[in-house]
Structure 1
C-alpha cells in the first residue's frame, strides 16, 4: 500500500497487536525518511523509521535535543513540551554539549561495564530477596508489583541513596510523568513533586554523606543543589521504569513464545543474547526520540532544514528488515547487537549496562525459581501500557 510523501496525521501509534509496532508505522519503512505533520498546529517535520538512518541522525551533532519542544508527532499530549521552562536544571537528558557533557560526566563512571560486573553479586542478592518475597506472596501474585518493580527499584534506591520506604510515592509520580493520557500540566506537576522530594534529600546528603550517588552529587562543589537533584531525577525515574517494564513485558512475551522459553531453559548461557533480543523486539521506549535540526543537514538524500522537528521511531528502526532478518520474529539466539532500544549517540542511555545486568540476572533467577510459572488469567485480559511513554503491562497475574 502506498503512502503519501507527507503524512497528514503524524506518526502512527495505535498498535494492532501486543508486541508489534503499528502496522502503518512499519509500512513506512519503504521510504525510511519522510515528512510528517506535527501537532498541535500542523507544522511539517520528519519521521525516521530506518535503522541506518536513525543511527546517523542520533549520532549527528547537527540534530539536537536542548530546544523548546512545542510540537508532538502524535495527537497525544505527549512528553515534549517547553523543555527550557519545565525541565529542572541537571536533567541532562534534554541538554546538549557543553552543558550535557558537564552534567553527564558526573555519573558515567558509575555505570561502566567493569563497575556493573563488580555490582553483580549485590544485584543477585536483591533478586534473590525479591524471588523469596514473590514466593511468599504465592502460589499466585502480580509479577509487576511483587517482582518486576521491586528489583530495579531496590537497586537504584541503593545506588542513589534514596530510601526504599518512599518507593510508593516516587513510583506513582514517575508513572504519572510518563502517562501520555494525562495533560501536560498534570505530568509537569508530578515531575515537580518528584524533583521537590529530591531537593529535600540533597542538603541532607551533603550534611551527612554516605556511599551513594546522591551523596557524591550533593558534595560535588561543581554542582548546585538543583543540578544534583535534576541528575537524581533522571536516574531515579529511568533507573526503574524501563527495566521494570522490560522484566514484566519480557516475561509475558516468553509465555507467549514457549519455544523460545524452552531454549532458555535448556541453556542459561543464552540469557545475555536473549536480553538483547528482547530489548530489540519489545523496544519499550515506543513513542520515538525527538530532535531539532540545528543546522541544515543531508541524510541519505533527505534535506533537513534548521529549526525542523525530527522524530526517530526506535521501535520501527529495531524492526527494520534491512538490518535484521525475520525482524518481526522473537529469536533468542539472534545476534541483536546494534539495536536502538537504548538510543544511540551522545544521548544513549547512561544506565544501559546496569539494565542489562539486572535483566539477565532477574530473568534467569525467576525461571530457575519458578519452572512452572504461568499466566493466571487469559492473555487478552492483561492490561497494556499503550498510552504510556514506556510500554509494558500494568499488571501481570501469574501462578505456579
Structure 2
C-alpha cells in the first residue's frame, strides 16, 4: 500500500495534516543545517513535515520538487516563517498539501518524500517567543477554590467571571513531547513547618491544557479584537503545564506562579491548523456575568465564530487513563484570551504560545490535574503501577485528544508525553 493511502477513519488522514519539524534517524545529532533543498531528509537536517497516518511528508522538499511558490516558507528547519506569512498563505499551503497527498498525478513525486514516523526524530516545531498561561476552566477554578478556600462564600475569586486570569511563563523551558522532565527543586513550607526547607518537589503535578500558537504578529500599542483571532492564531496543540504544587504554594503570594511552573512545559510535536478544526467549533458555556465590550462574545457579530472547540482529551499515567477532560466546557475562549492579553497594548510576536489553563469537566473523572483528582493528596489514585497522589520518579504522563472532523471523521491531536526523572 502506498504510504499516503491511509486507512479509512485514521485521525491523521488528509482532512487533518498537522505540521511539525523532523530529522531522519540517520542524522548524527538532529541539528539544523539550513533549508531542506530539493531532496528529502539528510544527515543532521531538520525539515518542516506534515503528518499523514503513520508517515511524515517532507513538506519543504515536496514544495521544491513541485515548484510551489511557498517553497521558501516550507523549506526551513522551523515553522516560524510559515507562521509569520499570515492567514492567506496558511490557507494556500494547506490546499496545496491536500492536493499533493490526494491527487494521483503527484504520487510519483511525493512517495519518495514520505518517511515512516518510526524512522524520524520529532523536534520542537517552532521557536517559542513569549509564553502565557491562563486559568479558563470554571470547573477547575471552582475545584481549586474549594480545596484551598473551603470556607469562602464563593469558590471563585471576585474577578474570575470578568476577565481571563493568566500569568507570563518561561518560554525557554517549553519542550517537545518525549523530553524527560527533571523533578524540580526549590523552597517549600508546609503549614505546620516552622521554616521553609530546600529540596526536590514532593508534590509534582500535571495540568492537561491546550496551547495556541500565534503566527501573525501585532504592533505594540494595538489591541487585537475578538474578531481578529483567526488572523493571528495559526493552530493549536496539546500542552502539559507541569506544576510543583509545594513550591507553588509557598511562593505564589502575592505575585503568582514562578518556580513552581517555570521548570518545564511540554507541547506536542504536531501543530494542528485551525482550518482542520472547522467541524469542532462549538459555542462556549452561557455567560453568567455581563462582559466588557472587548471580551463580549454574545453580540450578533460574535455569533458567526462561536469561539469554543470540542476537543476530547485523555490523561494517562503509566499507560492507565485517569481522566478525560472535555475542552468544550472551557468558560473563556482562546479568542477572549488573545483579546485580553493584548488589550493593554502588549504586542504579539510570531511564535507566541499561550495555554488554555487546566481543562476540567464537571465529573470526578474529567479533572485535568492530580491536585483535583486526589483532592490535594487527600485521596489516592489506584494505578496498575501502584497508588498515587502526586507523581513519582519514572512516572510517564501522556495526553492525547481528538476532535470531530468532516463527514463523521476524527481529527487527531499529536500526543504529549513526558517521563519524570530524579533531581539532577
Q: TM-score by structure 2 length?
A: 0.30
- Greater length-normalized contact order (CA 8 Å, ≥ 6 residues apart): 1
More strand as a share of residues = 2
The structure in which a higher percent of residues are helix is 1
TM-score (norm 1): 0.31
